[in-house]
Amino acid sequence: MRLTKGTKKALSLALSTALVLTGANVGTLKADAAKVNNKDGVKLTLTGKTLTEKYATVKEDGTVKVTTTFADAATAGALKGANFGETKTATDVKYVDDCDFSLKIVKVEVAEKNVLAKNVTGDYNNSDLYEVNTTDKSFKDFVAEKGDEITFTYKVTGLEDYEDTLDALKKENEALAASKAALEKNNASLVASKAALEKDNASLVASKAALEKDNKSLAASKAALETENKALAASNSALAASKAALEDQLKNTPAPTETPAPVAKGQMGNFNVSFDYVGDDTWGEQSWGDKSVNVTKDGDYSIEYTATSDSKGIYLMMLDTDLYYGSLADNFAFTVKNVKIGDKTYAIDNKGCWGFADQTVSKNYRFNIVNPWNGLFDKTGVNWQDEKVTTIDKLNKAPVKANDKIVVNFNVTTKKASSTVSIKAAKSKVSVAPSKSATVKYTVKGTSTVKATSNNKAVTVKVNKSKKNVTITAKKTAVMGKTATITLKAGSKKSTIKVTVAKTANVKKKKTAKYTVALAKVTKKVKAKKIKVSVKNKKVAKVTVKKTAKGQVTFQVKGLKKGKTTATLKYGKKSAKVSVVVK
């Protein structure tokens, strides 16, 4: 179908609108995050039980002093019978994400004496406004009379970052408003696009009529092909009749020899295994026991045969033995490990292959690899597991080329395996950081088969049988402080390794990475801003809390310069220390 000029224009407008919708999510424009006048600065209001209310203004980072007087006599300290009471320094700074604004009291002077017991840092209150509060316990012993002066010294940081964040929010709102206007304008073009597409739909109806006409021509061609298929079916019927006659011959004559010689019965420690082969259903290539091997002890054996013709899929392959009912040891096992054809090796599923020839107890034992007349045996070796399954092909129609060597590798066991099995891990406890691995060796006796499992999906384990060790890996999403149990199993024996997810965060310089650490008392209702974060060396890394969940906190680490430091995440009285490594 050829698009009209109007349709092309409409589609172009629709694509432009789709790009705008993809690039911006327009909704309610963001409101200012705080009511701070950048010119006037941050307003401080100092109040207290025995103090005269006092105001001050902070315009830049640094220190500021606020001096007021006692409205009533006051003392502080247990010996003086403390009645100084609480103080509050309120600000008009409202919480803004990613701003590190801080205001703390670093000194309080009464009669030229510093009576502050320790620095007091503020926090955001229930209204998200920053304030600093003290109690009697914040001060050393002192006595003051009504009218005496008291001076509070504050240290302010992050004021410039706070103002920059407000400016960024304002610019973002302006950009969102412009994006919204563009979307509303483009919406009109979508209406025009719809009208153009409806017009072109009429041309599609015309195209449909043309296709229906062509279908009539195809129907005529189909009728001609069906006539040809009938002729081919008649030819196939003739071939099927020939095949049936040959198959009937095989059923009634297990070997091409008209008068086979009496078969000697084998026994444990001395029996014969022979190779039977038919290349394809034309029966052009056959071999009945031309290749064989004598089994004299437990172990691995092989029979080799060279194909004389090509085949798209082997028609028959069996291993016949001279073992009969009553001649097998209690622990006898006959296992075909694999079949190699040319340069390709086929692993063999041994299920249902071993049984009596022609499902007759009086005949010899046979192992069917490919047999078009035999289903899967049950434990009796006579009956089939499923009467509806009447064939066996463990090679799945394997092709063969002339001169390909066919090698059948099998194992014979007549003795009971040793029951002494043991396994022991070299370590019972390991610590693994997220995205890191640890290797633990193990010692095993009585078997080479070792399996390993983990009870924590975030901690995986892989067995290296050749090196006799396991590799334990903590995924990036593993929760620091959580544990997992790795179980090594050999037979019925077990050995366990307790894995602790290390509280170590690795990050590259100028890159960021997210991690999760266990922290008691935290629930998903706890806001991220309620989790206090402190970094011992802030020049090495920056740590920011991103979200919370039951018993855990997800945080982001940004590498600033190469080195090591410690980050502490605290909620209430509970805390978690994380080692941070920047490479």
Q: What is the CATH number of the domain that holds 572?
A: 2.60.40.10
* Beta-sheet pairing, 437-445 with 479-480: unpaired
φ, ψ (nearest 5 deg) of residue 195: -60, -40
Same-domain pairing of 363 and 306: yes
Distance CA 98, CA 540 (A): 18
CATH number where 461 lies = 2.60.40.1080
Least confident of 213-227, 287-301, 390-404, 534-548: 213-227
What pLDDT was estimated at residue 36? 46
The answer to whether residue 555 is domain-embedded is yes
Same-domain pairing of 95 and 144: yes
What pLDDT was estimated at residue 250? 55
Same-domain pairing of 50 and 140: yes
pLDDT (tens digit, 9 = 90+) per residue, 150-182?
A: 999 999 998 765 556 656 666 777 888 888 888
Same-domain pairing of 526 and 567: yes
What pLDDT was estimated at residue 182? 86
The domain boundary, picked from 189, 217, 252, lies at 252
- Range of 529's domain? 504-582
> Where does the pLDDT of residue 137 fall: very low under 50, low under 70, confident under 90, or very high at 90 and above?
confident
The domain boundary, picked from 100, 128, 157, lies at 157
Same-domain pairing of 25 and 169: yes
Same-domain pairing of 283 and 407: yes
Same-domain pairing of 53 and 134: yes
The answer to whether residue 35 is domain-embedded is no
What pLDDT was estimated at residue 162? 54
CATH number where 59 lies = 2.60.90
Written as one string, the DSSP assignment of 178-238 is: HHHHHHHHHHHHHHHHHHHHHHHHHHHHHHHHHHHHHHHHHHHHHHHHHHHHHHHHHHHHH
The answer to whether residue 491 is domain-embedded is yes
What pLDDT was estimated at residue 5? 44
Mean pLDDT, range 385-397, rounded to an integer: 93
Mean pLDDT, range 457-484, rounded to an integer: 95
Neighbours of 517 (CB within 10 A): 22
> Where does the pLDDT of residue 145 fall: very low under 50, low under 70, confident under 90, or very high at 90 and above?
very high
The answer to whether residue 337 is domain-embedded is yes
Same-domain pairing of 61 and 128: yes
Residue 513, beta-bridge partner list? 557
Same-domain pairing of 320 and 386: yes
Distance CA 128, CA 341 (A): 77
The domain boundary, picked from 394, 413, 432, lies at 413
Q: Coil, strand, or helix at residue 244? A: helix
Same-domain pairing of 406 and 277: yes
Same-domain pairing of 26 and 167: yes
Mean pLDDT, range 363-372, rounded to an integer: 96
How many domains are contained in the chain? 5
Encoding tokens for residue 400? 């063969």
Distance CA 169, CA 166 (A): 5
What pLDDT was estimated at residue 74? 87
